[in-house]
Amino acid sequence: MTTPTLLTILQAPNMLEIDGLHAFEYSLNETQLVIEAIDGRERKVWKFTLAQVEAATFDAQLQSWVLTDGNADHRLVCLDAFTPNNNDDDNEDAAEQD
């Protein structure tokens, strides 16, 4: 069984954690991965080339990816955050059971 690459994994999550900061804003295109987070009042931005994303290694012990931007290593965790929807189906199902 082959291990998926970070590039493959990045197609699904709706939230990332980088260096311990939750980043709700990120974009992945044909040339780079850009991640934005707020640390207190400071906006932080990380940029990685596709080659850097493809070279990322998975740390099974810490369940995270290690990315190098040429200057430092960064730890990345891919998460699926809960997002509420506007469907009232759950309320209708509960009402029908009463």
The domain defined by 6-97 folds into: PH-domain like (2.30.29)
**pTM summary value:** 0.76
Residue 18 contacts residue 46 (beta carbons within 8 Å): yes
pLDDT computed for residue 47 by the predictor:
95
**41: how many CB neighbours lie within 10 A of its CB?**
5
- Give the tens place of pLDDT for each residue, 9-41: 888 777 899 999 999 789 999 999 999 999 999
Average pLDDT of the chain, as a whole number? 84
- Give the tens place of pLDDT for each residue, 59-93: 999 999 999 998 999 999 988 755 555 555 555 54
Give percent of the chain above pLDDT 90. 58
